[in-house]
Structure 1
Amino acid sequence: MEKPDNKHAIVTVAICFLIAVIEGLDIQAAGIAAAGIREHFALDSSQLGVFFSAGILGLLPGALIGGRFADRIGRKKVLIWSTGVFAVFTLCTAWVNSFNSLLAVRFLAGAGLGAAMPILITLASEAVSPQNRGRAVGLMYCGMPVGAAILSLVASTDFGTNWKNIFYLGGLLPIIVIPVMMFFLPESKEYLKAQNQAVTENAAPQASFKDLFNSTNFMRTILIWVSYFFTLMVVYIMLSWLPSLFMELGFSRKEGSTAQFFFMVSATVGTVILGMLTDRWKKAYVIILMYGGILAGLFALNSAGSLTQMYMASALVGAFVIGCQGVLYAFGSIVYPTEMRGTGVGMASAVGRVGAMLGPVIAGQLLAAGFGAAGVISAAIPCILISAIFMLFLVRRIQA
């Protein structure tokens, strides 16, 4: 009996990892293709900012709808459809011929990707025993920085110099993965069990938004929402602005891109290690370690003088800030029961995406107001402290 279960878990986490790699490619795609898109569509800086926001904005309704439908009609079915939507509209990004249509396809591609993310977390966590959920989600989610690092390398080749090739790659990869999902990805056993139980009891499985605010879940939902919001705000400030912050500090664009690469490589390692520690350590210790690590990295970025020190600080921030996001996703799968796990994680992801949208905008405003890189990094510190405090309250509540 153990072997099929192990096979089920390995196949599920491996396929979810592939989709996370594709998400990482997309996160980097807009920034890498920005110069080519600006030239092709004759955009100014303001319009380019709207282009960046369109994809992130699409993640919001995607996360809400994807999680909800995953609880209603099944994890596998919704994941395949959402990956298909993402693939089609990512390819369309290379074919559109007006700014408005460019915004529309980026929004719709973002919606497909946003719908996929809570389902990936839910599937990975439900493929293993509750004792191994942190590790499973960590292994799955480390695909994101892997994808981002791969695209950074592709961008340095002749193939990557044409901005359209970036979106052809991002659209064709999920099309290749869809048949793999159709034939090899198993449906969640926990979901099927909950469905069968609901049929036996002649009741519809609960997956309503209002269940997030019942007497059991209300405080858990608020606590995890606040943590997702502020943590993803800092994550996306770092993802969007790290190379630019390097240039603000007097380093070259190439050195900023190298820092981003170190950030992503260490993020891959950090996500796996923190995910494993989530299962083995007391949850409070993991939270103190990961948020303490982010703070140490931010202080290091602010005080480092040499290029080597800056690279090391970037790696430190990457390991903990992206790893922290993986741990938060694992917590989402622990906080909510099976019948509403997709809905709960989807809503928390959507709230986090609001923070993700606001973070880069606030960073841009601070830079425009003359606060410099140090001001942006300092502004991230209170966000991390708030997230840490709310997560510690959440752990205390779960244990109680």
Structure 2
Amino acid sequence: MNTTNACVRSPVPTIGLCFIVALFEGLDVQSAGIAGPAIAAHFGLSPSMMGAVFSASIIGLLPGALVGGWLADRLGRKRVLIVAVIIFGMFSLATAMAWSFESLLMMRFLTGVGLGAAMPNLIALASEAVEQRSHGQAVSIMYCGLPLGGAIAVLISNADLEDSWKAVFYVGGVGPLLVVPLLCLWLPESAVYHAQKERDHCARRPYLRVLFQQGAARSTLLLWVSYFFTLMVLYLLQNWLPSLMMSQGLVRSDAGTVQVALNLGGAIGSLLMGLLMDRWRVTALIVSMYLGTVAALAGLGFSSQFYSMVIAAFAAGFFSIGSQLVLYALAPRFYPTGIRGTGVGSALAVGRLGSMSGPLVAGQMLAAGSGGAMVLMAATPGIVVAAAAMLFLVAGQHRKWR
């Protein structure tokens, strides 16, 4: 079903506002990992407890993505996005006010609910604002806000402010709340969504079942497998990289520089992958992205010099975050407008299971005495499985996905 011709408005306001929301989402997603060493010192947390802190917001992402995507198909993308931004802004602020390990877990979980509900709506709004041939570019422009937001979080953390770990969460909370009025005034609802809703009222039917009917089960399951393992690796990097680099001898400021390199590489990779998706064969892009991720992780794990770590981190961000962009840009194409939010949200929700497991497994490995290189290389089998799932998914459909 091709409904993208319903787009008649300029896509600039939609993509621009979605980029701003993604910027704050990226800042908050990585804030706990960047502030991790300071949080551990402040609350006296062990590596396994820090793994639980990292995973708390990711656990919240799962129901947030699933419910947020489903509600978007019933109530509209704009409404659900605004509520999601309010939720993650409020509880990011509350994170800075946590008074115990348990309260910290609760605030991070509720922040994750808002973050999870926002992303399927950002993807749907960006992809539906343009014609199908430009989906990759539109989603990539929106999505590059995430790694740039992560880079901003590092700069805030390294600014030597009083209680700098709290400052990251203050910015991550106040910023989204200030954006809410802009969304209310200037973010248009998806014209594609309106057209579909008026035509057949698809948003009122139970869509989760449709993801497994009429030949869609294969696509849905393969998307889920690839999302699971791709996000597992990415969130391991985003949450544990500063601590892993410090365990390899770097001081905090140098570990922060490595994290900035990861995010800058991700921003550039996202933009480039978005352009290439609309020009290259997707199979070639998938192979390049996942092979590059394996090579970058090996370089990051076995680097012994600061500058080689920076280069490897840049490459890891370029390929791993670029891989996630490819997934985000492809997923909407598998679902018609009426179930697009549900389809993308379900894939994101399953991906959150992977993103939750990555930090937890890393924490357990470190607690058991594993080194940083072993933790990074343990992600390689997951990358291979994710690449295989995507290749099976697009096999025989080269013309469709060019």
Alignment TM-score, normalising by the size of structure 2: 0.92
Corresponding position of 1:102: 104
Aligned AA for 2:103? S
Alignment of 1:189-200 (within 5 A): 189-199=191-201
User: 1:258 offset after TM fit, Å?
Assistant: 1.4
Which of the numbers 125, 129, 143 marks the counterpart of 1:123? 125
User: 1:157 offset after TM fit, Å?
Assistant: 1.6
Are 1:31 and 2:48 matched, yes or no? no
Are 1:373 and 2:375 matched, yes or no? no
Corresponding position of 1:346: 345
Q: 1:276 to 1:183 in 2, by over 3 A?
A: same
Alignment of 1:79-98 (within 5 A): 79-98=81-100
Alignment of 1:1-400 (within 5 A): 8-38=10-40, 40-159=42-161, 161-199=163-201, 205-206=204-205, 208-396=207-395, 398=397
1:238-263 Cα shifts (integer Å, max 9, x gaps): 11222233234344333222111111
Secondary structure of 2:11's partner? helix
User: 1:98 offset after TM fit, Å?
Assistant: 4.2
Q: 1:398 to 1:252 in 2, by over 3 A?
A: same
Q: 1:384 to 1:142 in 2, by over 3 A?
A: same
| Alpha-carbon contact 1:335-1:398 (below 8 Å) kept | no
| Alpha-carbon contact 2:84-2:115 (below 8 Å) kept | yes
Q: 1:44 to 1:309 in 2, by over 3 A?
A: closer
User: 1:36 offset after TM fit, Å?
Assistant: 4.7
User: 1:361 offset after TM fit, Å?
Assistant: 1.7
Aligned AA for 1:316? A
Aligned AA for 2:152? I
User: 1:374 offset after TM fit, Å?
Assistant: 2.4
Corresponding position of 2:3: none
Q: 1:49 to 1:76 in 2, by over 3 A?
A: same
Unaligned runs of 5+ in 2: 1-5
Q: 1:398 to 1:216 in 2, by over 3 A?
A: farther
1:324-347 Cα shifts (integer Å, max 9, x gaps): 111111111111111111001111
CA–CA distance in 1 between the matches of 2:129 and 2:171? 29
Alignment TM-score, normalising by the size of structure 1: 0.92
| Alpha-carbon contact 2:51-2:359 (below 8 Å) kept | no
Which sits farther off after the overlay, 34-43 or 276-285?
34-43
| Alpha-carbon contact 1:72-1:207 (below 8 Å) kept | no
User: 1:6 offset after TM fit, Å?
Assistant: 7.7
Which sits farther off after the overlay, 138-147 or 276-285?
276-285
| Alpha-carbon contact 1:154-1:160 (below 8 Å) kept | no
1:216-271 Cα shifts (integer Å, max 9, x gaps): 21000010100000111110111122223323434433322211111111111011
Secondary structure of 1:8's partner? coil
Aligned AA for 2:343? G
User: 1:100 offset after TM fit, Å?
Assistant: 3.1
Counting aligned pairs with the same residue, the percent is 47
CA–CA distance in 1 between the matches of 2:322 and 2:380? 17
User: 1:89 offset after TM fit, Å?
Assistant: 1.8
CA–CA distance in 1 between the matches of 2:48 and 2:358? 16
1:359-387 Cα shifts (integer Å, max 9, x gaps): 12222233333442222222111111111
1:42-65 Cα shifts (integer Å, max 9, x gaps): 545444333222211111110011
CA–CA distance in 1 between the matches of 2:283 and 2:20? 30
CA–CA distance in 2 between the matches of 1:306 and 1:158? 25
Q: 1:204 to 1:94 in 2, by over 3 A?
A: closer
Aligned AA for 1:321? S
